[in-house]
Structure formats: C-alpha cells, structure tokens
Amino acid sequence: MPTLHDYSATTIDGKDQSLSDYKGKVLLVVNVASACGFTPHYTGMEALQKKYGGRGFAVLGFPCNQFGAQEPGEEAEIARFCETTYGVTFPMFAKIDVNGDHTHPLYQHLKASAPGLLGTEAIKWNFTKFLVGKDGATIRRYAPNVDPGDIAGDIEEALGA
C-alpha cells in the first residue's frame, strides 16, 4: 500500500518536492485557507511546529479554495499572509484541490487511508487534519473543528513509536 512518501507536491514557492524528504518524521497534513472561521488554527499549528519540530515533527499546509472560496489569493499572497499574520514557519505548498476530479494524488491517498465520519472520504471543510507516522502511513483524520492543541497527545505517541 502506498504511503505519503510515495507522493510529491509543489511548494508554495513553486518547487517540486518529494514527500519522501519527510521519511522518519511525524506529520500533520492540513488543507488550509486564509479567510475561514478556522484560520486561527494557524496559531495552534505553529505552536505544535515549535514544540515538536526539533523532535522530528512537521506541519504541512496545503492551501485550498474549494470551500466558500476562502483561499482566493495567489501563492505569494498566501505565504505573506501566513508569515505576517501567524508567523508560520512550517512548510507550505501550492494551492490544490482536495475533492473532485482534480483532487491532488496525496489527498486521494489520505482520504482513502483515513475515511471520515461514516466512512465518507470527501473533505468536508478547510482545516481537516491528517496525522501521518514516521513510516508515511496515515494514523488518523481530525475534523476541521478539532483544535490543533488537542492533537498533541497523539503527536507525542507517534513521535515515541
């Protein structure tokens, strides 16, 4: 079965990056948006990055404009917003689709490996979170309303594995 490490994505500054570069790290993969009610989750996500980054953890942010057109900007604008408003230091990627005909292959994999409520695969909204283990296997999916700080225990467990 494929893992996150079998995919690549375009960084927010336009470079192709193999996600195998994250082998051995625990990851929190999140579809993000700048104008969403959950946008303040950036604060909690950055806190997790600062707390666990030195122990082999990273947040990966994937901007998406599919929910209420809440991420309309271009990549440079998104990067600037994240840095200046929330002090984001974790890796950000280019805008992607997480549902529909143009779903990014990584999200096809994440949704299939960790279905949502009642087995549905579709991403319901911005800030759906996926915890991925050091081996690239998806551990768990979290709903958009789950505060990043509430995932700390699961991150600790995954880092200890």
- Residues marked as catalytic: 36
105 vs 84: CA distance, rounded Å: 30
CB 96 within 8 A of CB 116: no
DSSP 8-state code for residue 5 = G
Max alpha carbon distance in the chain (Å)?
39
Residue 134: what residue type?
A: K
CB 151 within 8 A of CB 19: no
Alpha-carbon Rg of the chain, whole angstroms? 14
80 vs 56: CA distance, rounded Å: 25
| Element at 51 (helix H, strand E) | helix 41-52
